[in-house]
Amino acid sequence: MTDSDKPDSWYWEQRWTSFRRGTKKLKLEWNGGEATALIYDAGVPNTSAAILAALPLIVPVVHVAWSGDMLMSTRDYDLPSRDLENEVRLVRPGDLTWDPKFGELAFTYGTAECRLPSGPNTLVVYGSIETAFVDAFAEFGRRRRFEGVGEIKISAL
């Protein structure tokens, strides 16, 4: 058996990063900034299609209470995708997420672990803010802790 045949050499990549594939772009705008994001239309096709069909979206957001450096929508969204195409608990900075259990959109800007008051949670990661824009988005995210509700406009590029 070669090293590439051993489960520990491919499992992590297959389970946690193989869905991070796509070609379509989104634009996120907030008071004081904007960013582009890659949507994982190849790796997360159902959720990506539902998000793209719903655009443009204006998403009121607040800072999460339990999960770390993340913003969550203040209202639920009725998107047709209820599939858990991937189930991610440890999200990355810049991840764009969908929680089909609650109809919630969320946006990660730093270190975060998806949690509820009752314990761990998992989300569908359907895209990510491009690295060059994460710091500017993080500034907006941190301000939500003290300034309260903000808005993110999501549109297709």
**CATH code of the domain containing 96:** 2.40.100.20
Residue 1, token pair as written in the block: 């058996």
Q: What's the CA gap between 108 and 103, in Å, rounded? A: 17
Give Cα 117 distance to the centre of its chain. Answer: 20
Task: Evaluate whether residue 14 is within a structural domain.
Answer: no
Structural domain count of the chain = 1
pTM: 0.89
Task: Evaluate whether residue 120 is within a structural domain.
Answer: yes
List helix spans (H) across the chain: 7-12, 45-54, 131-147
Q: Which residues contact 76 (CB under 8 A, 6 or more apart)?
A: 102, 103, 104
- Rounded to a whole number of angstroms, the CA Rg of the chain reads 16
Task: Evaluate whether residue 86 is within a structural domain.
Answer: yes
Task: Evaluate whether residue 70 is within a structural domain.
Answer: yes
Task: Evaluate whether residue 60 is within a structural domain.
Answer: yes
Task: Evaluate whether residue 8 is within a structural domain.
Answer: no
**pLDDT tens by residue, the chain, 157 residues:** 555 556 556 655 565 667 889 999 999 999 999 999 999 999 999 999 999 999 999 999 999 999 999 999 999 999 998 889 998 999 999 999 999 999 999 999 999 999 999 999 999 999 999 999 999 999 999 999 999 999 999 999 9
Task: Evaluate whether residue 103 is within a structural domain.
Answer: yes
Domain assignment of residue 46, given as a range: 21-156
Task: Evaluate whether residue 3 is within a structural domain.
Answer: no
